[in-house]
Structure 1
């Protein structure tokens, strides 16, 4: 893996991996999981995509990595216990999405990535951010991909014990991050690869199939045998050796972005 470049972009920590030679090249922006790998540096190590002739800039999610409170996940876990949807999941996705335009402008000022179309990639809850960028932002995108993605926020909430006490506000929040419902908006934006581990949560796998069906011909569903939800071993905060399952995901992402960069050129 090339030597990572670390920094901040409009207050958002990032780990950037340069293309061969480190010169001007297109840009792929990623958002990591909240499961392992749960930091920008760890996600960069899990899916470095070294064969893609592009800058891969991995953004840190709120409350994770360099943005953990007092260096631990304890504050995030307390918010999860308080209200998993309205204090934890929804605010994280909203903040990551809202800070993206300024972060992108800062990345473009710091790195030789130009102002052309970008790639977007998200894993798990980071997948919700990538899909929201596709559905709601007007930045030009040459290709998108998600891995074991949080495609419907209600499905994520259903993973937690006890029935969630939805009210009008939380119903609206959950519905705003239902990307099967936003499939028409996504379909017109860019080709989309949906990577789904065959050992991922059943609800996530069902949502992946529904999203691809709803988006239509510009999307592809790629099941990965033997892949559970995480892409790295715990604790998943620091960079770690690439697991075999992550290596397979890395290979399919590399092929996907190389293919669509060639078309973009």
Structure 2
């Protein structure tokens, strides 16, 4: 956001959806996460034990990358309509993406079905998938849960499309009933696993 506008984001997406927007977003958020976590712990009365991680849409790739590619202790994770395979996200943009060696390496590094063993060894994951989400993202959700095995779970939400709020979703607004349903499922999941984390 620049001056309250998404124009800069749109410009990056048009320039190169993967290499100018999607990958830098996930990389930067993951790199900034340890310092952000330390800042939160310094400001709030929380201990330094394992955390829960949650990401929606592209933030799902950040949460999955924290699970798959970092050493940060996590007691449980969740993604909501998450970017589980970046190739599926790239395919949502118009036209055929011009992959080269560098972008192929990047998109493969953000395939979290391929990293399911690493994720499963770290923490249980709840994969929330709206039944009206993009078909490829929904297929990725099913494949990730299958690859993870127990105790990870799929929570399928009828009538939920990709967004949790009315578009563009930038201004504060009352929570929609479907978002409330997602919230309830996430709360139940994290409470269950937080109790087990002791």
State the partner residue of 1:257: 190
Q: Which runs of 5+ in 1 are unaligned?
A: 1-67
Q: Which runs of 4+ in 1 moved over 6 A?
A: none
Counterpart selection for 1:197 from 122, 127, 130: 130
Counterpart selection for 1:106 from 29, 39, 44: 39
**Per-residue deviation, 1:237:** 1.4
Structure scoring higher RCO (CA < 8 A, sep ≥ 6) equals 1
**Per-residue deviation, 1:232:** 0.3
Secondary structure in structure 2 of the residue aligned to 1:83: helix
Which has a greater percent of helix?
Answer: 2
State the partner residue of 2:26: 93
State the partner residue of 2:153: 220
Superposition TM-score, scaled by structure 1 size: 0.74
State the partner residue of 1:15: none
Deviation sequence 1:161-202 (CA, Å, 0-9, x none): 111000000001101110001101000001100010000000
State the partner residue of 1:156: 89
Secondary structure in structure 2 of the residue aligned to 1:165: coil
Q: Which runs of 5+ in 2 are unaligned?
A: none
**1:131 aligned to 2:64?**
yes
- Count, aligned residues: 198
Superposition TM-score, scaled by structure 2 size: 0.98
In structure 2, how many angstroms separate the alpha carbons of the residues matched to 1:117 and 1:240? 32
CA RMSD across the alignment? 0.8
Which has a greater percent of strand?
Answer: 1
